[in-house]
Homo-oligomer: A and B are copies of this chain.
Amino acid sequence: MIIVMKPEAKEKQLKEVCSVLDSLDLGIHISKGAQVTIIGVIGDKRKLSDVPLELMPGVDKLVPIVESYKLASKTFKPESSVVSIDGIEVGGKEIVMMGGPCAIESREQLIEVGDAVKASGAQFLRGGAYKPRTSPYSFQGLEEEGLKYMREVKERTGLKIVTEVISQKSVEIAEKYVDMFQIGARNMQNFYLLREVGKTKKPVLLKRGLSATIDEWINAAEYIMSEGNYNVVLCERGIRTFETATRNTLDISAIPVVKSKTHLPIIVDPSHASGKWEYVLPLSRAAIAAGADGLIVEVHPNPRCAVSDGPQSLTPEKFSTLCDSVKKMVPLIDRTFNID
């Protein structure tokens, strides 16, 4: 942390700031420039998190030098983490494919999708039982009944299952059925929920918030990890920008940036990022080429009849084409594709 004093700051004000730092057992390094004096603060900057130094007389601004997260930081743990989910490794050499419907609609639908994504090479079935929808008048999910269907598909196919949780109660129920919790974009800073999934030790897929910076996103992972649950996989799913041709803007650069800042794995959701199935294949290829550890894709047996996100869902046939395309790419980037 660096404290920048105002050009007109007085010697007395500088001393007062130093005495506060002193009282917190922080080291001090003063540097007088041509225009301004700056103070380098040495020690654990978390001691300062609740002290508004920028309000002290003579202080112009604070400039953070190191990031505010620790457990998630690559500085803290330089080697990449591999998260194991009931035997499937995310962040290892194998590219992970997750497919399934936005919303679980019926037992038949889920079995059909499960069989199809399994056949294409996916290791995970995704499916929403608790649906956060923009309008209160849209379908809100089958809840526990849907989770039972997921479990049935798991037993039938061996696919691991991942579902979104939206409240303490849904965490309690889903914990009995699924292999991985998903925290949706709209709940990325629902810190209460982050702590709840942190207290379980079940792996968590943490989607990036629509307007979250990469640092805020990693801080959300830190919340989960600070409760002792280190099994966090990040998921880039598009951010909100001024462009309206796509539902969101896939931040493809987030992949190498995340890899440089944290040891956690990262996968990409091209379906929510684009909002249109036509763009899912090119964006999936781009994500894998940029270094993503996997993909999570919406697949529906009959998108035209989907109660949610139909326009961005692939048919099982198109998902199969996508998997084939990824399979061909993996040798180029020294990765592998699932082969049972």
Contacts and interface: CB of A to CB of B under 8 A. Distances in A.
A23 interface: no
Contact of A250 (B55, B253, B260): B253
B27 A29 contact: no
A7 B75 contact: yes
A165 to B, nearest CB: 10
A289 to B, nearest CB: 4
B252 A283 contact: yes
Given A32-B42, A167-B192, A168-B167, A257 B244 contact: no
B245 A249 contact: no
A169 B168 contact: yes
A290 interface: yes
A191 B141 CA distance: 13
A9 interface: no
A190 B191 contact: no
Contact of A274 (B132, B242, B253): B253
A199 interface: no
A334 to B, nearest CB: 11
A108 to B, nearest CB: 17
Interface residues of A, number: 111
Interface string A220-245: 00110010000000000001111111
A56 B310 CA distance: 11
B250 A243 contact: no
Minimum-distance CB pairs A-B, first 3: A52-B310, A211-B211, A29-B31
Interface of A: 2, 4, 7, 27, 29, 31-36, 38, 40-44, 46, 49-52, 54-56, 63, 65-66, 68-69, 75, 130, 132-139, 166-170, 186-187, 189-193, 195, 209-211, 213-216, 219, 222-223, 226, 239-246, 249-257, 260-261, 273-274, 277-279, 282-283, 285-291, 303-311, 325, 328-329, 332-333
